[in-house]
Chain A
Amino acid sequence: MTNYSIAPEPLDGKVPPGPIEHKWDDHKFASTLVNPANKRRFEVIVVGTGLAGASAAATLGELGYRVKAFCFQDSPRRAHSIAAQGGINAAKNYRNDGDSIYRLFYDTVKGGDYRAREANVYRLAQVSVDIIDQCTAQGVPFAREYGGLLDNRSFGGAQVSRTFYARGQTGQQLLLGSYQALERQINLGTVEMFPRTEMLELVVKDGVAVGIVVRNLVTGAVTSHSAHAVVLATGGYSNAFYLSTNAKGCNVTAAWRAHRKGAYFANPCYTQIHPTCIPASDDFQSKLTLMSESLRNDGRIWVPKDPSDTRSPDQIPEADRDYFLERRYPAFGNLVPRDVASRAAKREVDEGRGVGPLKNGVYLDFAEAIGRLGRHVLEERYDNLFEMYERITGEDPYKVPMRIYPAVHYTMGGLWVDYDLMTNVPGLYALGEANFSDHGANRLGASALMQGLADGYFVLPATISNYLAPQLGRSPVPTSDPVFQAAEAEVSERTKRFLAIRGTKSPDHFHRELGKIVWDNCGMARSQDSLTKALGEIPALRDEFYRDVKVLGGDMDFNQSLERAGRVADFLEFSELMCLDALHREESCGGHFRVEHQTEDGEALRDDDDFAYAGAWEFTGVGGAPVLHKEPLVFENVKLAQRSYK
């Protein structure tokens, strides 16, 4: 599939008029409200219980809506937001170092390489301060200074210290905060929780989202749930690459099912490769582990100058080391944004200077920081990370430099949403990593947690009334409606199809093969050749999957291979769109690096004349030619400039 067509009309993000500082307030004032007494007449489905989903479900329940929340894990507390380590940004300016809402907004737009929607980003920066207040009040144990006030650190490319953190477990603590708020609503009866339940179809009637079809993962029962609105907070698609830092269960199924039912998928080629992960050690590796980027605050990244240098790192004198980030980017040094740091490491490894037994990493060295600050300070800051590293590799980073290498970590692309976070399908919303809106082509460190919570606590609860209010008095479409029956039949049939193939290879085998194709051809560097190659290989692999996948057991049972088969099948369709999007975007920006488009220094070269738009794809059938809808990105506040971190 290399064909596509372009829709004649531009896509409208429905950004409110007026100066950027007033848009959100003005929009809230202009919004239609639902009377407090009427809120219980509305039902809302929330799929996913990570930061965005749990905070949205809890807040909507608290407002009085009747909420059904779904997650595939055995408890809502296990969503993958829990694994975020580093921190959460907020424009509090507690450090008096020149931060402001405007600066956070500016940094995020610039960091996203000018491919995000300005108004959304500004709103994100505005509500960031409320998030910290909210979470602190919930009891999130953020790090504190000796005076008892909140501590901050500088993080991933920011020149101000605006990141709040809870040891190396910020995501865990924030998620537990929203999980607890969710459990409170479950106890109060405003939210009904469905754990171990996977959404397998979106139900659309007359162009409007009316519910979902789910499979109970324990009993295998396929059932329908209807509501006035459906909210997807189902995370990103990093696992298309098989090896990523995502949890094993993370998948694109909910978003992809919605896409197949009409929701546009925007910028799927914007994937973020995180520079500091532990390199793979063997073929059995099932996932990669991230080492928080905060480590770059105190660690220095280097490789031996001589590719044939086999000395142990402590035996290599300073003169024989190349601190390549500090050398190439003197102003930002080891703190350049993720995409820049990742590509620089790739260059070193590609040129043969990689370290470790497989020569697939670079050193992240703490010796200088230990000398300067003392071991106790590093223990305070990173002890759990150092421990985790030692557990995985068997090496002690207090004594030997860590070995790190980039890995897929986050995906900026996602379902296209307007300013209200509603997709082009009325009644269907997408929050957090599942949408595309705030990070452009590259996400800054400590911004994912901020966006998930902004969407769930503050944005959706304020915007959803615009859609719900006019429906007062209308009941949701009953699940006995033929449209639900048809969707249920489709799901059951698909599930049975996987079982009927009786081939010879496991779903994991196909997933691994797919991962190799997309990592090699649509990874840190992409070219017309590599993408065309991938677009030939993916459909062939998909055909083989449907011929030769082997799933044992039954459908009315707890069957983990069956779950996996369904998710891999959707990745096999989705990856094709990701590669097509990467092929069509003839420029380099943020996480999307096309080798044909780079500066003399090897930096990403944008093409603002032709590509300053969000590319939202409309589904026309598997292997069919999708339709590209362009949402022009208008920059009224931030001046377009070539990013430079020198």
Chain B
Amino acid sequence: MHVNLRVWRQAGPKAEGHFEDYAVDEVSPDMSFLELFDVLNEQLLADGVEPVAFDHDCREGICGSCSMMINGQAHGPERGTATCQLHMRKFEDGAHITVEPWRARSFPIVKDLAVDRGALDRIVEAGGYITVRTGSAPEANLTPIPKEVADWAMDAAACIGCGACVAACPNGAAQLFTAAKVSHLNLLPQGQSERYERVANMVDTMEEYFGSCTLHRECEAACPKEISIDFIAMMNRDYVKAQFKNRRLIAQK
């Protein structure tokens, strides 16, 4: 196969970016999209051009590092697939492919296709956990959890934190990411003590960094783990309730 790439190059966060065109020959259909970039980078290095910077690590769709806008779609055309698991057999011979970094103000560009997604960690810091001192946990089977509930929590917990939802959203909102974590923990009995404080803190922190959700559903379509926007509804419901139920506020009344 042969492909024509148009790749966003940007030397640093403050530098001005631009597109560069590169042609890559001898592309194997069994190659992953990131392996295509490996080949491109070897080619650039041989030509004395600095390779394209891009984030990647596990290359099996679970670490959430890879982050490419491919022809305007976060992670490219295949549903439920991260860039590292997208294979060239999904493209036609001679295809023209435009590759950009995640586009969102809250993800400043580090270099070329690599961005800083630290804002997602700030949301987790704000309450995306269950407080358990190491060693203080009760016997694991003390609290039965209906299988459906555990499965549902797992559906939300499958989020890999790649940020495709933000990149795909016209508003640059992080609702799907935040809702996945809120729902994972708020669905479980272990998460109840901090339920309302959690949702309030996480949503408030999210609002500091990200745009607002207007239910476009682009996030759901882009999510490599196909996480449902039902979780956003669940988060919103808990957020509203939190305004009334926040235990600290109740205690003050």
Interface residues of A (CB under 8 A from B): 55, 58-59, 62, 73-78, 80, 82-83, 92, 94, 130, 132-134, 136-139, 141-150, 166-167, 169, 172-173, 176, 179-181, 183-184, 186-187, 193, 195, 218, 247-249, 281-282, 284-287, 289-290, 388, 391-392, 394, 457-458, 461, 504, 506, 508-509, 550, 552-553, 557-558, 560-561
Residues of B within 8 A of A506 (CB): 41-42, 45-46
Q: How far is the CB of A132 from chain B (nearest CB, A)?
A: 5
**A391:B120 contact, CB within 8 angstroms:** no
Contact of A458 (CB < 8 Å), options: B58, B63, B64, B134: B134
Task: Give residues 79-114 of B contacting A (CB, 8 Å).
Answer: 81, 85, 87, 89, 110-111, 114
Q: B30: CB under 8 A from chain A?
A: yes
**B153:A150 contact, CB within 8 angstroms:** no
Task: Give residues 22-62 of B contacting A (CB, 8 Å).
Answer: 28, 30-32, 34-35, 38-39, 41-42, 45-46, 48-51, 53, 55-62
Alpha-carbon distance A503/B124, docked complex (angstroms): 44
Q: How far is the CB of B7 from chain A (nearest CB, A)?
A: 15
**B64:A141 contact, CB within 8 angstroms:** no
**B140:A132 contact, CB within 8 angstroms:** yes
Known: A62-B133, A149-B144. A169 touches B158 (CB 8 A): yes
Alpha-carbon distance A173/B110, docked complex (angstroms): 28
**A146:B45 contact, CB within 8 angstroms:** no
Alpha-carbon distance A77/B180, docked complex (angstroms): 15
Beyond the given A83-B63, A132-B140, A388-B60, please list 17 additional residue pairs across the A-B interface where CB-CB is below 8 A.
A74-B65, A75-B120, A134-B135, A136-B190, A137-B132, A137-B138, A139-B184, A143-B150, A147-B144, A149-B144, A173-B154, A193-B121, A247-B63, A248-B59, A284-B39, A550-B45, A558-B53
Residues of B within 8 A of A139 (CB): 129-130, 153, 184-185, 188, 190-191
**B124:A183 contact, CB within 8 angstroms:** yes
**B61:A388 contact, CB within 8 angstroms:** yes
Alpha-carbon distance A75/B159, docked complex (angstroms): 14
Alpha-carbon distance A289/B46, docked complex (angstroms): 28
Contact of A184 (CB < 8 Å), options: B28, B131, B153, B190: B131
Q: How far is the CB of A409 from chain B (nearest CB, A)?
A: 12
Interface residues of B (CB under 8 A from A): 12, 28, 30-32, 34-35, 38-39, 41-42, 45-46, 48-51, 53, 55-65, 78, 81, 85, 87, 89, 110-111, 114, 116-118, 120-121, 124-126, 128-141, 144-147, 150-151, 153-154, 157-158, 160-161, 184-185, 188, 190-191
**A141:B38 contact, CB within 8 angstroms:** no
Known: A506-B42, A560-B53. A74 touches B117 (CB 8 A): yes
Q: How far is the CB of B226 from chain A (nearest CB, A)?
A: 11
Residue from B46, B48, B58, B147 with most neighbouring chain A CB atoms (10 Å): B58
Alpha-carbon distance A134/B140, docked complex (angstroms): 8
**B129:A181 contact, CB within 8 angstroms:** yes
Residues of B within 8 A of A141 (CB): 150-151, 153-154, 157, 184, 188
Alpha-carbon distance A137/B146, docked complex (angstroms): 15
**A247:B61 contact, CB within 8 angstroms:** no
Closest to B55 in A: A74
Residues of B within 8 A of A552 (CB): 45, 48-51
Known: A134-B132, A391-B81. A282 touches B28 (CB 8 A): yes
**B111:A558 contact, CB within 8 angstroms:** yes
Alpha-carbon distance A80/B65, docked complex (angstroms): 11
Alpha-carbon distance A186/B48, docked complex (angstroms): 42
Alpha-carbon distance A83/B62, docked complex (angstroms): 6
Contact of A82 (CB < 8 Å), options: B30, B45, B63: B63
Q: How far is the CB of A177 from chain B (nearest CB, A)?
A: 8
Residues of B within 8 A of A138 (CB): 129-130, 132, 137, 190
Residues of B within 8 A of A78 (CB): 57-58, 63-65, 161
**A133:B137 contact, CB within 8 angstroms:** yes
Alpha-carbon distance A130/B133, docked complex (angstroms): 12
Q: List 22 A-B contacts (CB under 8 A).
A: A74-B114, A75-B121, A78-B65, A82-B58, A136-B140, A137-B136, A138-B130, A141-B153, A141-B154, A147-B144, A148-B145, A180-B129, A184-B125, A184-B129, A282-B31, A388-B85, A394-B30, A394-B89, A506-B45, A558-B12, A558-B110, A560-B51
Alpha-carbon distance A564/B64, docked complex (angstroms): 20
Residue from A139, A142, A183 with most neighbouring chain B CB atoms (10 Å): A139
Q: How far is the CB of A113 from chain B (nearest CB, A)?
A: 29
Residue from B28, B131, B137 with most neighbouring chain A CB atoms (10 Å): B137
**A187:B126 contact, CB within 8 angstroms:** yes
Contact of A74 (CB < 8 Å), options: B46, B60, B116: B116
Contact of B35 (CB < 8 Å), options: A74, A82, A284, A289: A284
**B87:A394 contact, CB within 8 angstroms:** yes
Residues of A within 8 A of B59 (CB): 247-248, 286-287, 289
Q: How far is the CB of B87 from chain A (nearest CB, A)?
A: 7
Q: How far is the CB of B202 from chain A (nearest CB, A)?
A: 11
**B150:A142 contact, CB within 8 angstroms:** yes
The 7 closest A-B pairs by CB, nearest first: A148-B144, A137-B137, A180-B129, A136-B140, A133-B137, A141-B154, A247-B57
Q: How far is the CB of A46 from chain B (nearest CB, A)?
A: 14
**B125:A77 contact, CB within 8 angstroms:** no
Closest to A132 in B: B140
Residue from A75, A167, A289, A553 with most neighbouring chain B CB atoms (10 Å): A75
**B57:A282 contact, CB within 8 angstroms:** no
Residues of A within 8 A of B57 (CB): 73, 78, 80, 247-249
**B157:A284 contact, CB within 8 angstroms:** no
Residues of A within 8 A of B81 (CB): 391
**B140:A92 contact, CB within 8 angstroms:** yes
Residue from A62, A173, A187 with most neighbouring chain B CB atoms (10 Å): A187
